[in-house]
């Protein structure tokens, strides 16, 4: 009787073991949250200024593991604390501020599985960031302008998989082109460097 029980238990375990063996990491849909360092640089051809802040946001996507190679698509919405404030720009006591707003991204990534748990990848896609400029001379003159900046993003990173969950460390560079006011090109361009970590859950 004991032998029959052991054989039955072994036969029951075989499908589960086979499924576990066949299961591939880095495949299927996923959602995640990210946080990290944000560095925005603006320039007008004659000079430039930059500022650091904290980036945060969420990502969702889908990966397909082709057996050693991974291809996928993802979308992201993020924000940042990055802003620059200056005083005494044109008159004594005036204040001007430029602030990074929400950032939308959609793109693709491709990677190589270098160990059963580690994926190295590169990514590229379209990004759209909102920037706002405010000015107040505290004498009755105020100014507010906002523009959605269209650009591209490229990046690279590593992802570590542990079951249904994964973690990423990633560097990315975004170029948004020039800031416009009422459709007029100001000649001021914006670029962004970020290093972020992401926690993912696959389902």
Share of the chain above pLDDT 70, in %: 88
**What DSSP character marks residue 90?**
S
Helix (H, G, I), strand (E, B) or coil at 94: coil
Kind and range of the H or E element at 27?
none
Q: Which domains does the chain have, with CATH numbers?
A: 25-202 (2.40.160.20)
Q: Is 60 exceeded by the pLDDT of residue 61?
A: yes
- Segment 102-123 mean pLDDT: 97
- Reported in sequence order, the residue ranges of the chain that DSSP labels E, i.e. its strands, are 28-43, 48-65, 69-80, 83-87, 95-115, 118-136, 142-162, 165-181, 184-202
Confidence (pTM): 0.79
26 φ/ψ sector (left φ>0, alpha ψ -120 to 50, else beta)? left
pLDDT of res. 23: 59
Q: Is 70 exceeded by the pLDDT of residue 16?
A: no
**What DSSP character marks residue 100?**
E
């Amino acid at each position: 009787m004991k032998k029959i029980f052991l054989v039955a238990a072994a036969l029951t375990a075989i499908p589960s073991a086979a499924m576990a063996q066949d299961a591939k990491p880095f495949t299927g849909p996923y959602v995640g949250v990210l946080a990290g360092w944000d560095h925005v640089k603006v320039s007008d051809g004659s000079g430039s200024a930059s500022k650091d802040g904290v980036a945060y946001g969420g990502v969702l996507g889908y990966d397909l593991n082709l057996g050693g190679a991974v291809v996928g698509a993802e979308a992201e919405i993020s924000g940042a604390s990055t802003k620059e404030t200056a005083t005494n720009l044109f008159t004594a006591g005036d204040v001007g501020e430029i602030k990074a707003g929400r950032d939308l991204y959609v793109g693709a990534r491709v990677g190589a599985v270098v160990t059963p748990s580690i994926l190295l990848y590169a990514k590229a896609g379209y990004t759209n960031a909102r920037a706002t400029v405010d000015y107040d001379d505290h004498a009755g003159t105020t100014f507010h302008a906002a523009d959605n900046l269209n650009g591209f993003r490229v990046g690279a990173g590593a992802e570590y998989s542990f079951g249904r969950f994964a973690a990423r460390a990633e560097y990315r560079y975004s170029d948004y082109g020039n800031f416009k006011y009422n459709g007029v090109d100001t000649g001021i361009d914006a670029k962004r460097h970020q290093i972020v970590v992401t926690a993912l859950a696959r389902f």
